Amino acid sequence: MKIELVLNGRPAALDVRSDEMLLEALRRSGLPSVRETCAIGVCGACTVLMDGEPVSGCLTLAATVAGREITTVEGLDASDPVLRAFNEAHAFQCGWCTPGFILTAKAIRPGDDIRAALGGNLCRCGCYVKIEEAVRACVS
If phi > 0 it is left, if psi is from -120 to 50 it is alpha, else beta; for residue 111 that is left
Q: CB 30 → ligand FES: shortest distance, Å? A: 19
Q: Exactly one of 1, 12, 13, 38 binds ligand FES (CB under 6 A); which one?
A: 38
Q: CB 79 → ligand FES: shortest distance, Å? A: 22
- Segment interacting with ligand FES (CB under 6 A) among 10-18, 79-87, 108-116, 117-125: 117-125
Is residue 133 part of the contact set for ligand FES (CB under 6 A)? no
Q: Exactly one of 3, 39, 61, 137 binds ligand FES (CB under 6 A); which one?
A: 39
Report the C-alpha gap between 55 and 123 in whole angstroms: 17
CB 75 within 8 A of CB 26: no
Q: CB 7 → ligand FES: shortest distance, Å? A: 18
Instruction: List Cα–Cα distances, 7 to 11, 52, 68, 133, in angstroms.
Output: 6, 12, 8, 29
CB 17 within 8 A of CB 81: no
Report the C-alpha gap between 68 and 38 in whole angstroms: 25
- Segment interacting with ligand FES (CB under 6 A) among 12-20, 76-84, 105-113, 124-132: 124-132
Sites of contact with ligand FES (CB under 6 A): 36-39, 41-46, 56, 58, 92-97, 123-125, 127
